[in-house]
Structure 1
């Protein structure tokens, strides 16, 4: 009996203690919530603060870097797709072109948009137009020139856009550096006008300005790596194109007489 009464009294005491402590805990939570919200909402650092506090020059620099980055990635992906398509056309030419009876039939067996069909048709066109003033040119030389011009056209299309990657890779770090210099200048002017030069007032704006240099490097590095990678892949693809042109030249000389 006494044990039951003792347990009941202990339970009532614990409940009373919890009831007394709950207002204190509620007040502590209410006091800490605005502090956390203030830290979340009033964070003066980061890219959002850099954009919100930046002037037209800073925002323009960020937009330029964004456009350069988007252009670089567009060129990288489109060139990779174009190289893959050309490699597929090279395999088709290797499998089907040399099985035909004539160069004309072989060219017709390839896809209409195939670069190898374009080269074959230019070679045939050069061989068939070796008349008039062109007849004074050696037939071998004339066919060689026709095929080389077609190969040069294919190579030029492969290299389209690589100049953009080279330009972005060489200029993006300096664009970011310009944004950093301008951001530091802008921050120092604001600090000087406010009259407060404490570390918490200086570190934030200067740190945000330094982000510009990091963004410039983040734009430049993929452009440089993409440029070098695409150039190496272009060389591998063009080796197949040149080999096809040499074989076509030999076949035209053997099958088409001036």
Structure 2
């Protein structure tokens, strides 16, 4: 019996669980593929852009070099934040170092928000997909046993088939959850490394621009 036959013989709740697992799998793989490409490019861009910035002879030329190289717009927002004067607002209160701390913190939060894209979705799918599959298994077993009891004939052959089909839902839930959990942990390590590099660059940039 193939998956199409199993799906066609299940009731509305069984079909709903199967469709939900399918949608969760598609969503997680879309995020995994997109974010894998995004973080791979981000890692290279941050290293190249920061190195080019510090090799420039002046702050203005360093900013120009960063704009050419920073395709992911991760380093440039930090540089531009130090070049926007806040006049006549509370953001301009305090000395130059305090002002830079505020603007760099806000810019860094915006950059990190983009880097953390999809992490919540992967964590949610990784933690809930096994239980969704378990729900489908429990309901499938209940549905199978109800049908068997209604027929009045109980045997191992009649029980093993429907129960085995219901257990496929558990395997499907794990198949959806495992890639999401692995990707969440892997991406978390990469994001943490990029975040540390950006925070270090922001601190150095604050020290540089606070004396200008």
TM over 0.5: yes
Partner of 2:139: 182
CA–CA distance in structure 1, aligned partners of residues 89 and 15 of structure 2: 63
Q: 1:250 aligns with which of 189, 198, 207?
A: 207
CA–CA distance in structure 2, aligned partners of residues 152 and 46 of structure 1: 49
Deviations 1:95-136 (A, max 9, x none): 3212334323322222364211111001211xx225565443
Q: 1:157 aligns with which of 114, 132, 157?
A: 114
Q: Aligned runs of 1:7-26 on 2, under 5 Å?
A: none
CA–CA distance in structure 2, aligned partners of residues 197 and 219 of structure 1: 34
1:73 matched to 2:32? The reply is no
Deviations 1:156-196 (A, max 9, x none): 11112100111111111110011011111111121122222
Partner of 1:42: none
Q: Which runs of 5+ in 1 are unaligned?
A: 1-44
Q: Is the 8 A contact 2:50 2:75 kept in 1?
A: no
Which range is displaced more, 102-111 or 180-189?
A: 102-111
1:49 matched to 2:12? The reply is no
Q: Secondary structure at the match of 1:155?
A: helix
| Alpha-carbon distance change, 253 to 58 in structure 1, aligned in 2, over 3 angstroms | same
| Alpha-carbon distance change, 170 to 132 in structure 1, aligned in 2, over 3 angstroms | closer
CA–CA distance in structure 2, aligned partners of residues 130 and 138 of structure 1: 13
Q: Is the 8 A contact 1:108 1:117 kept in 2?
A: no
Higher helix proportion (structure 1 or 2): 1
CA–CA distance in structure 2, aligned partners of residues 98 and 82 of structure 1: 24
Q: Secondary structure at the match of 2:154?
A: coil
CA–CA distance in structure 1, aligned partners of residues 207 and 145 of structure 2: 72
CA–CA distance in structure 2, aligned partners of residues 132 and 55 of structure 1: 62
1:238 matched to 2:204? The reply is no
Deviation at 1:46? 4.1
Which range is displaced more, 185-194 or 167-176?
A: 185-194
Partner of 1:119: 78
1:83 matched to 2:34? The reply is no
Q: Aligned runs of 1:211-222 on 2, under 5 Å?
A: 211-222=168-179
| Alpha-carbon distance change, 89 to 131 in structure 1, aligned in 2, over 3 angstroms | farther
How many residue pairs are counted as aligned between the two chains? 209
Partner of 2:101: 144
Q: Which runs of 5+ in 2 are unaligned?
A: none
* TM-score (structure 1 length as normaliser): 0.76
Q: Is the 8 A contact 1:46 1:208 kept in 2?
A: no
**Larger Rg, first or second structure (1 or 2):** 1
Q: Aligned runs of 1:17-36 on 2, under 5 Å?
A: none
Q: Is the 8 A contact 1:58 1:182 kept in 2?
A: yes
Runs of 4 or more above 6 Å deviation: none
